[in-house]
């Protein structure tokens, strides 16, 4: 399994110190002594590895939106080396291609972060990324890295979200307008092409939002909406506030968030914020560790919101399917606002406090997942009985 690693070694570099790497004791070791594990034959070239970097993802978190990856032959000459950035678990048999992802899926060659690509400069004739940049914590840093590793006269292809609703694991951060994509992702490179792909026209936007909106409605209200002519529906949504309020009455926090037109936050500056900045500056690496823990906190928070939504969804589907629950009814979850308040860090500036809150959110997510699976079992059981 190390043959692929040996083959790629000359083009790899340490994501922390940017020095060369060599094999030793089943690891990759940089010239400056940094060590990176090799898990199932995949180098984990991540600056600060987390559990999800080291553990193969569960089936529900594996991205495989194509049967196989095929190189886009658009360079003036056939590309010699290609980076499939954010490959997910899409297989590729082309030896020119390096499959690169943040998760150690079976078909990935190297695990790493787009914000710090572990490659030498000017090495790829083609960098291809689809449905990735909206999931990056820092897309502007990532595009600098893409430009750095693209060879002179090389090409990068980036397909990223604009009017898409919230989706994806481990998180969905930034949607870019076409102007933002051209201004910030192209910038000082030569714009060769920009267009809306056939799979992402306004028809797809309308379908995506409409289907997710209808799926979030209780059956009775969904049927009422579906019976309306489109013009009548638009008129009543625009002019009847009571109708709108009734439609949204049973929407979960997740449904409201993932389909929202905008979002509001309010944040207060902690009393000892300036003091904390000084402490972080004095301890090497502490500021980054704290930042990663806080970002992970909000990712885990969103996952808990999703799991809570799934419990409510399958409970509703059971109700609408007339499932006889009796004593076999799973426990109802607490309101999501109560759960989030319970899992809030006591001190957002304390690394220990944030880690404790993250552990609490993991426990909540696990409990909600168990409850969700119980509801799914009841629902699928009822569907199976109805089909006999």
Domain-wise residue ranges, the chain:
3-197, 268-387
Averaged pLDDT, 364-381: 94
pLDDT of 64: 63
Over the stretch 212-270, which tens digit does the pLDDT of each residue have? Answer: 999 999 999 999 999 999 999 999 999 999 999 999 998 999 999 999 999 999 999 99
Over the stretch 115-146, which tens digit does the pLDDT of each residue have? Answer: 999 999 999 999 999 999 999 999 999 999 99
Q: Residue 123's CB: how many other CB atoms inside 10 A?
A: 21
What is the rounded distance in angstroms from the CA atom of residue 104 to the CA atom of residue 111? 6
Is residue 324 scored above 80 in pLDDT?
no
Query: Structure pTM?
Result: 0.88
The count of C-alpha atoms lying within 13 angstroms of the C-alpha of 76, restricted to the half-sphere facing its C-beta, is 5
Mark residue 285 as left, alpha or beta (left: phi above 0; alpha: psi -120 to 50; beta: remaining): left
pLDDT of 333: 95
Percent of the chain with pLDDT over 90: 82
Averaged pLDDT, 188-199: 93
pLDDT of 7: 94
Is residue 34 scored above 70 in pLDDT?
yes
CATH ID of 3-197, from 2.60.120, 3.50.50, 3.40.120, 3.40.50 = 3.40.50
pLDDT of 163: 94
pLDDT of 59: 66
């Amino acid at each position: 399994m190390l043959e692929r690693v040996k083959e790629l070694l000359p083009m790899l570099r340490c994501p922390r110190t940017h020095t060369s790497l060599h094999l030793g004791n089943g690891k990759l070791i940089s010239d400056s002594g940094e060590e990176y594990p090799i898990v199932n034959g995949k180098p984990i070239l991540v600056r600060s590895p987390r559990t999800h970097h080291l553990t193969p993802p569960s089936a529900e978190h594996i991205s495989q939106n194509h049967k196989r990856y095929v190189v886009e032959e658009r360079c003036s000459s056939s590309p010699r080396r290609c980076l499939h950035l954010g490959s997910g678990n899409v297989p590729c048999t082309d030896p020119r291609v390096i499959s690169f992802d943040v998760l150690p899926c079976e078909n990935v060659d190297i695990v790493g972060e787009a914000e710090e690509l572990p490659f030498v400069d000017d090495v790829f004739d083609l960098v291809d990324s689809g449905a990735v940049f909206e999931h990056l914590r820092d897309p502007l840093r990532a595009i600098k890295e893409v430009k750095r590793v693209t060879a002179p006269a090389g090409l990068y292809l980036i397909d990223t979200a604009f009017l898409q609703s919230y989706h994806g694991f481990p998180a969905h951060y930034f949607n870019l307008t076409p102007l933002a994509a051209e201004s910030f992702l192209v910038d000082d490179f030569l714009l060769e092409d920009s267009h809306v792909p056939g799979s992402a026209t306004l028809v797809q936007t309308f379908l995506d939002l409409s289907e997710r909106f209808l799926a979030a409605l209780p059956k009775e209200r969904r049927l009422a909406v579906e019976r309306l002519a489109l013009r009548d529906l638009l008129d009543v949504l625009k002019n009847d506030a009571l109708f709108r309020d009734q439609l949204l009455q049973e929407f979960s926090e997740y449904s409201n968030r993932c389909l929202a037109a905008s979002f509001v936050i309010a944040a207060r500056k902690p009393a000892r914020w300036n003091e904390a900045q000084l402490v972080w500056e004095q301890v090497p690496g502490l500021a980054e560790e704290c930042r990663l823990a806080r970002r992970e906190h909000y990712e885990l928070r969103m996952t808990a919101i999703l799991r809570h939504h799934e419990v409510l969804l399958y409970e509703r589907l059971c109700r609408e399917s007339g499932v006889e629950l009796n004593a076999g009814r799973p426990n109802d979850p607490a309101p999501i606002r109560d759960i989030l308040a319970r899992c809030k860090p006591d001190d957002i500036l304390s690394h220990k406090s944030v880690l404790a809150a993250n552990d609490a959110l993991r426990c909540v997510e696990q409990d909600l997942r168990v409850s969700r699976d119980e509801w799914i079992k009841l629902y699928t059981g009822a569907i199976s009985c109805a089909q006999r």
